[in-house]
Amino acid sequence: METSTTASVATPATDASKGGTWHILSFTYFTFVSYLCIGLPLATLPAYVHLRLGYSAAMAGLVISIQYIATFLSRPWAGRISDDAGAKVSVLWGMGACTVSGVLLVGAAALQRSPWLSVASLIASRLLLGVGESLGSTGAALWGIAGTGPQHTARVISFNGIGTYGALALGAPLGVVLEQQWGLISLGLVTIVVGGASILVALSKRPEAVLLGEHLPFGHVLGRVMPHGMGLALGGVGYSVLATFVTLFYASRHWNGAALCLTAFGVAFIAARLLFIQAINRWGGFPVSIVCLAVESVGVLLLWRAGSPQMALGGAALTGFGYSLIYPALGVEAVRRVTQQNRGTALGVYTVFADLSFFMVGPLAGAVIGSFGYASAFLFALVCVVAALAIVVVLTVATDTSSVD
CATH of the domain at 343: 1.20.1250.20
Asked whether residue 40 falls in the same domain as residue 158, the answer is yes
For residue 90, tell me if it sits in a domain: yes
pTM of the model: 0.73
Average pLDDT of the chain, as a whole number: 84
Q: Of 145, 178, 203, which residue is a domain's last?
A: 203
Q: Are residues 182 and 238 both part of a single domain? A: no
Residue 314 belongs to what domain range?
218-404
- Give the model confidence (pLDDT) of 280-314 as tens digits: 888 989 999 999 999 999 999 999 999 999 999 99
Same domain for 180 and 231, yes or no, is no
Residues 286 and 253 in one domain: yes
Residue 9 lies in a domain: no
266 & 382 share domain: yes
Highest mean pLDDT among 177-191, 332-346, 347-361: 177-191
Same domain flag for 137 and 69: yes
Distance set, CA 250 to CA 297, 309, 310 (Å): 20, 8, 12
Looking at 159, 176, 203, which one is the last position of a domain? 203
Q: Does any domain span residue 34?
A: yes
257 and 178, same structural domain? no
Mean pLDDT along residues 244-268: 84
Q: In terms of Cα–Cα distance, which of 265, 275, 273 is closest to 296?
A: 265
CB 158 within 8 A of CB 25: no
The verdict on 28 and 101 lying in the same domain is: yes
What CA–CA distance (Å, rounded) separates 316 from 309? 10
Q: Are residues 276 and 193 in the same domain?
A: no
Higher pLDDT, 79 or 4: 79
**What confidence tens digit (pLDDT) does each residue in 158-185 have?**
888 788 878 877 887 888 889 889 999 9
pLDDT at residue 53 in the model: 87
Rounded to the nearest angstrom, the gap between the alpha carbon of residue 39 and the centroid of all alpha carbons in its chain is 12
Average pLDDT over residues 203-207: 89
**What pLDDT does residue 10 have?**
36
Tell me what the mean pLDDT of segment 112-127 comes to.
Answer: 93
pLDDT at 339: 75
Last residue of a domain, one of 173, 203, 233: 203
Residue-level length of the chain: 405
Q: How far apart are CA 221 and CA 153, in angstroms?
A: 18
403 confidence band (pLDDT: 50, 70, 90): low
The pLDDT assigned to 19 comes to 58
**pLDDT at residue 400 in the model:** 66
132 and 240, same domain (yes or no): no
Residue 100 pLDDT: 97
Asked, for residue 372, whether it belongs to a domain, the answer is yes
- What pLDDT digit, counting tens, does each position of 34-54 carry? 989 988 887 788 778 888 888
| Residue 5, in any domain of the structure | no
pLDDT band at 193 (very low <50, low <70, confident <90, very high): very high
Q: How confident is the model at residue 402 (pLDDT cuts 50, 70, 90)?
A: low
> Tens digit of pLDDT for each residue in 4-40?
333 333 344 445 455 577 888 888 899 999 989 988 8
Whether residue 159 is contained in a domain is answered as yes
| 102 occurs within a structural domain | yes
133 and 234 share one domain: no
What are the pLDDT digits (tens) for 130-157? 999 989 988 898 888 888 877 777 788 7
Give the integer Cα–Cα distance in Å for 68 and 356. Answer: 10
Q: Are residues 94 and 233 in the same domain?
A: no
DSSP-assigned states of every residue in 117-139? HHHHHHHHHHHHHHHHHHHHHHH
Q: Is the pLDDT of residue 343 over 60?
A: yes
Report whether pLDDT(57) > 90.
no
Query: Who has greater pLDDT, 196 or 41?
Result: 196
Instruction: Tally the domains of the chain.
Output: 2
